[in-house]
Amino acid sequence: MVSCVQCKGRLLCGLSSCPLLEKTRFQSGVRVGREVAGDSPPNLFVGWKGYPSVYAGPLISVSDATVDDPSQMYGMGFDEIIEARSSLVRGMKTAAVNDPSSMGEARDAVLSVKSVGVEAKFEREPSFHLSFSDMTQPMGPTGSLKKFRLTSNPSIPAKVDEFAEERVKARDAVSELMQSGFEYYYLQKIFTAGLLGEKKKLVPTRWGITAMDRIVADEHIEKIKLMPAVNEFRVYSNEYLHNHYEILLLPGMWEFEQFEAWWAGSLWAAGEASVAHEYEPFEGRSDYAEEEGGGYYAGRMATAEALVKLNRQARCVVFREIYDGYRLPVGVWQVRESVRKAFENQPEKFATRSEALARIATRLKRPLSQYLARTVLLKQRRLADF
């Protein structure tokens, strides 16, 4: 049977809704009528249930407190995140993923690099609950969309507009736009909105997040494999929202391993502690990371991004411990941004692997032996490790 830690709300258990996520739903203090005027961050949410016929629509801000960019959200506590996201109203309508043009002006809003004025009319007043997901940021009030239009001109870069019109593979478009300096979360949005690719189609937001992490990381890893290896053992640390991270870089060619240790009482572990594990050799892997899901790809992307900035390759191990204070899922952006911030901290450097692991063990709450029992990468012994 699939465990809750492995499923993380994807309904792999066969239930029609996730009982753990249902417990996190609560009423938002935001009240909006059937007509709303405000700014679109800009963003478009695409659901996954019922695929290829899904619910999709724009996000509309009804407060200055709204924050949509996860890199700006990092550092906020649970209450601040809830406040920032609860004032973002989600308009929804049924859409066929093969017809992204049905989203109309909402897609133009997503292409904009600046907020866009919008007006929306709903079939009825939006419902006032706040919902959570393991993959996406918390979502505020939701309503069935009747009409949607822009009230200001979107600011669309010419290069992005060009790719939105052309039939170019999404991977190639993302690669070129990254090299042109476009930010990760912006590319994630336009990819989900069906604005990139040879056969343009809406991509459910939770799938699009993982797809972008894979595409961007793969692009980085191709470069990393040509770089010189680190010549010492480095340890980077960070902690945020009851998630603790220890990242170990070892000399050698690219490999990646990540652990997720869930404490009893934390969201997905419920009453039973659990350790998930994923590994990728130098040659890569083609199968999906079932044990960790999107968190694995977010950590992998942020690690690969950091190595490119360091101009180094390495064998990499990410230890992630999730404590019982983590009771609300805020999305895998938390993993991505926490790993990014860890690499912004000064690393501790060691001459041997044993010294580095001994230091890591002083900050982990779970015995290091429990990780070593499952590791693939750390079972490999090399002369440089001593």
| Pair (317, 251) in one structural domain | yes
CA angle 376/378/381 to nearest 5° reads 110
pTM: 0.90
Maximum CA pair distance of the chain? 68
Q: What is the DSSP string of 237-282?
A: EEEETTEEEEEEEESSS-EEEEEEEEPTTSTTTTTS-EEEEEEE-T
In total, how many domains does the chain have? 4
Shared domain for 91 and 132, answered yes or no, is yes
Looking at the structure, do residues 333 and 349 belong to the same domain, yes or no? yes
Residues 137 and 82 in one domain: yes
- Give the domain CATH number at 76: 2.40.50
In this predicted model, what pLDDT tens digit does every residue of 146-204 receive, in sequence order? 999 999 999 999 999 999 999 999 999 999 999 999 999 999 999 999 999 999 999 99
DSSP label of 359: H
Burial code (b: 16+ CB inside 10 Å, e: under 16) for 82-91 equals bbbbbbbbbb
Give me Rg for the CA atoms of the chain: 21
Q: 82 and 139, same structural domain?
A: yes
What phi, psi does 13 have (nearest 5°)?
-75, -15
- Residues 378 and 335 placed together within one structural domain of the fold: yes
Are 292 and 180 in the same domain? no
Q: What is the domain range of residue 11?
A: 1-29
CA separation for the pair 182, 109 (Å, rounded): 16
Q: Are residues 35 and 47 in the same domain?
A: yes
CA distance 110 to 143: 19
Instruction: Please write the tens of the pLDDT for every residue from 69-98.
Output: 999 999 999 888 888 888 888 899 999 999
Q: 138: which 2 tokens?
A: 């918390």
- Encoding tokens for residue 224? 């990393």
Determine the Cα–Cα distance for residues 277 and 375; give it in Å rounded to an integer: 8
End residue of a domain, out of 86, 118, 148: 148
Please give the chain's pLDDT, 386 residues, in tens. 555 655 655 555 554 455 444 444 444 555 678 998 888 777 899 999 999 999 999 998 877 667 889 999 999 998 888 888 888 888 999 999 999 999 999 999 999 999 899 999 999 988 767 777 778 888 888 899 999 999 999 999 999 999 999 999 999 999 999 999 999 999 999 999 999 999 999 999 999 999 999 999 999 999 999 999 999 999 999 999 999 999 999 999 999 999 999 998 777 676 678 899 999 999 999 999 999 999 999 999 999 999 999 999 999 999 999 999 998 889 999 999 999 999 999 999 999 999 999 999 999 999 999 999 999 999 987 766 66
Together in a domain, 59 and 85? yes
Residues in the chain, total: 386
CB 343 within 8 A of CB 301: no
Contact between 36 and 60 under an 8 Å Cβ cutoff? The reply is yes
Regarding whether 44 and 89 lie in a shared domain, the answer is yes
Angle 162-41-150 (CA atoms, 0-180°, nearest 5)? 70
Amino acid at residue number 259: F
Residues 182 and 40 in one domain: no
- Final residue of a structural domain among 148, 169, 186: 148
